[in-house]
Amino acid sequence: MITTVVFDLDDTLYDEIEYCRSGFASAAEFIANLPKAPPAPDIFDALWRQFTTGSRKNTFNTALDELGIRYNDGLIQELVKVYRDHVPKITLPADSRDVLVELRDKYTLALLTDGFLPAQQLKVKALGIEEYFKCIIYTEQLGRDCWKPSPIGFEKLLKTLNTKAETVAYVADNEKKDFIGPNKLGILTIQIIRPARIHTESAPPFLLSLASASADASRSGGQESRGASARYIVHEIGQLPALLVKI
């Protein structure tokens, strides 16, 4: 029986693209204050265009090139810091809040998230979700080696909550890294596939067809989950409470 529900953060409880938009808006403000820079909205447009057309690793470089602004590594590092340290303008979607409110009466809730600090902490604060969780694991605090797919964050979670793996469900989005650790430990895994998730385009075609072939909240396979796939798939967070009752 499941008594603890653990959530991933980005693209699970909210759409991470909203955070990216907010981060690039902050970076645009910063760049606009440089000598001879264009106005912030033009800079934001260039950043967003580069980001959404695929220059995700070098968004700042390619946008500054497009804008004709000279830069060096120091400026790029500074922009990365502005992005990661900015206070994000993001809000928790209503369906996520409804589910957290509903589940907290019946289950112990927790959060386990990878990513840079303080960015992850600032997201949690902006979304106003701290109050729902008995425990929040920022894997970064355990060391970079402990980011998913490492199971270490999950081991720490079980120890902190003093609970057994078979009573825990982990809800997350990314089939490349999220489910390997919890599957190994015997935690039940549930993938949420939000329509706006950032990883959608890069997901391998076989996974997308598996996802659409698994009807709402249905079992993705009759056996124990192994490897990288989640045992269950949902397409809306609102499907979670009913699924948890069925499991």
Q: Please give the residue ranges that form the binding site for Mg ion (CB under 5 A).
A: 8, 10-11, 173
In terms of CB distance, is 140 or 173 closer to Mg ion? 173
Pick the closer one to Mg ion by CB: 197 or 231: 197
Provide the 3-class DSSP secondary structure of residue 36: coil
CB of 87 to Mg ion, least distance (A): 21
CA distances to 62, 190, 218, 231 from 221, rounded to whole Å, are: 43, 12, 9, 7
Q: How far is the CB of 172 from Mg ion (least distance, A)?
A: 6
Q: What is the DSSP letter of 142?
A: G
Choice between 11 and 140, CB closer to Mg ion: 11
* Cβ-closest position to Mg ion: 10
User: 43 or 153: whose CB is closer to Mg ion?
Assistant: 153
Q: How far apart are CB 114 and Mg ion at their closest, in Å?
A: 8
- Residue 112 CB, shortest distance to Mg ion, in Å, is 10
Q: Which tokens go with 146?
A: 């402990």
Cis geometry, peptide bond prior to residue 149 (ω within 30 degrees of 0): yes
**Residues 5, 103 contacting (CB under 8 angstroms):** yes
**CB nearer Mg ion, residue 10 or residue 63:** 10
- Shortest Å, Cβ 162 to Mg ion: 26
Count of beta carbons in the 10 Å neighbourhood of residue 42: 14
The residue written with tokens 């385009």 in the block is: 201
CB 141 within 8 A of CB 111: no
